[in-house]
Amino acid sequence: MRIGVLTLLFVLLYTQVVAQSDKEATQTDSILIINGDRLIPFMDSLKQAIYTDTIKFNRSNLVHTTNNTRNKEPYSSLYIVNGQYQYKLDIIESYQVAEFVNAVLNSSKVKSITVIEKAKVDKNYFPHIQQNAIFITFYHQAKFNPKIAGLKRSRKNGGDNFNQRKKGEPMVLQ
């Protein structure tokens, strides 16, 4: 609950900054905010990067612990949608990645995207981060079913896809 509230406050803070400059991308120290006319080209390049990265997926690189699944060779950013739903794409199959891209990176839904470098993300609130954090904020009226890409709801208004262990796969105890 605490993580969701803080994430939501963080996203709202940056959404306010985005609202002040609606036509351009704003970049500060290690933070890039994209909205307005720059949003669609950015989302197109992000989709291309995600699909290119998906080729690297190898199920044998996954390590399953009691809390989560991680990739021994991480390549995906952490995606936080509306401050509530967290997705890692380097631990899921390609069809689930396509499901995520189609549902989330839709220009009619996305209001803004904020990219934060790994070094600037607070590890206390996002311990699973291996690369950058990408906050995706939808328009208020946008419809979104978060149960995509292996997401499991962990609380009333939130969840993640961090546990991708299938029956019979070994687990490392931590």
Q: In this predicted model, what pLDDT tens digit does every residue of 111-168 receive, in sequence order?
A: 999 998 877 776 656 666 667 889 999 999 999 888 888 888 776 778 877 777 777 6
Provide the number of structural domains found in the chain.
1
171, part of any domain: no
123, part of any domain: yes
167, part of any domain: no
* Whether the predicted model's global pTM rises above the 0.85 cut: no
Residues in CB range of 105: below 8 A, 6 or more apart = 43, 46, 47, 50, 136
24, part of any domain: yes
94: domain range? 2-160
Q: Which residue has the tokens 């699944």?
A: 69
154, part of any domain: yes
Q: Which helix (H) or strand (E) holds 134?
A: strand 133-138
57, part of any domain: yes
121, part of any domain: yes
165, part of any domain: no
